[in-house]
Amino acid sequence: MKEPNLFESMVGDLPDDDQAIRLWFTLVGCFTTVERALRRRLRNGFDLSLPRFDVLTALVTFPDGLTMSELAGKLGVSKGNVTGVVGGLRKQGFVDQTRRATDRRVLQVVITKSGKSAWEEMQAAYREVVETMLDELPAAESRQLTAGLAQLQQLLDRADVDEPASG
């Protein structure tokens, strides 16, 4: 049996009535386990990082391309984080940067034919990992969990949590 990740270990140490934190650590633990398997599969099968796969996924979704700022926004990361990833993908021939037709000053990143072809292979491997890992959960429970998480996402989208003042 595999060793539990940090979050799985922490859940076991929490009191039963600490439900919000138990839920959060359980979600993060599940995500961490699946993400670790995805990273390993993409690295071993395609010599590609998960962030590079994510950028390719965004560009497949927006085939006309995205500016670096738009790409960073779609991925929920900083523009600086995207810059290095895009640079690596350019070296691999998976993306190009072109001038935006409506404003020649603006560069946008577009996926190449070889990038789309590689992404399609990676996407199949990605799906296989996720399906293999989640396949033992009965369909009815999977649907119920999906509905519950969708409800949770709606609540989180409405949550207005202020960041603490820096000082």
pLDDT in tens, 31-75: 989 999 999 999 999 999 999 999 999 999 999 899 999 999 999
Instruction: Compute the distance between CA of residue 53 and CA of residue 57 in angstroms, rounded to an integer.
Output: 6
Tell me, what's the pLDDT at 162?
Answer: 66
Tell me, what's the pLDDT at 167?
Answer: 52
**Token match 């595999």: residue?**
2
> How many Cβ atoms are within 10 Å of 148's Cβ, its own excluded?
10
Tell me, what's the pLDDT at 50?
Answer: 95
Handedness of CA 44, 95, 63, 150 (dihedral sign): positive
CA distances 136 to 34, 128, 139, 150, 162, Å, are 14, 13, 9, 21, 39
Residues lower than pLDDT 70 in the chain: 1, 5, 161-167
Name the maximum alpha-carbon separation found in the chain: 58
Tell me, what's the pLDDT at 150?
Answer: 94
Tell me, what's the pLDDT at 132?
Answer: 96
